[in-house]
Amino acid sequence: MAYKYFSILYLFILSVVFTLAKIDTHAAASLSLEMDSASRKQQTPMQKSRISDHKAYKVSDLHFGFKPFSPLMGAQKMEGTENEKLLSNVKVFPNQISDQLSLSFKLNKDSNVSIKVMDALGNEVTTLLSQRLSAGEQSNTFNLGSKLNQGFYFIRVVAGTETIVKRIEVL
């Protein structure tokens, strides 16, 4: 059924094309959907192209007729803000704790620091420290005693807008 509509559509398109192009009937008779085997043999065989250039090109070697974007004003780098983090070198030891936790870190400038213990769901269990500390190496020891049950917890150290989280295991 679909072939019937396809052939009618094909004949309609051919008739429109021949009418618009004013092709004579001899040229129209030579067109067909499929070429027979005799006409295939009469055609000249196609030559396969050979790649003669084996050079690997870099992107910079290729020119497409346009210049790459270059800003009118150069980007200015803020001095010291990108490389200088407020909070660094945070260490929690020993990792398997029973009653005492030692924590050391480095502050690059004076700031408010809070150290909290969080459970696996992110709930705050206890606050170990919340005060303003001076710049430099800080080392603190906290006695947890019976505040924490056995399991995994997270120590969240917040200084200014920076946060570092470390995992601990309580025995």
**Given a cut of 90, is residue 123 above it in pLDDT?**
yes
Q: Which CATH architecture has domain 87-170?
A: Sandwich (2.60)
* Domain map (residue ranges) of the chain: 87-170
Residue 112 has a pLDDT of 95
Residues 55-108 have pLDDT tens digits of 665 555 555 565 655 666 666 666 555 567 899 999 999 888 888 999 999 999
Rounded Cα distance between 106 and 90, Å, is 7
**Given a cut of 70, is residue 12 above it in pLDDT?**
yes
Q: Cβ-count burial of 143 within 10 angstroms (0-12 exposed, 13-18 middle, 19+ buried)? A: exposed
Strands (E), the chain: 87-93, 96-97, 100-107, 111-118, 124-133, 136-143, 151-159, 162-170
The residues near 93 (Cβ < 8 Å, ≥ 6 apart) are 102, 103
Residue 23 has a pLDDT of 47
Question: What confidence category does residue 129 fall into, taking pLDDT thresholds of 50, 70 and 90?
Answer: very high
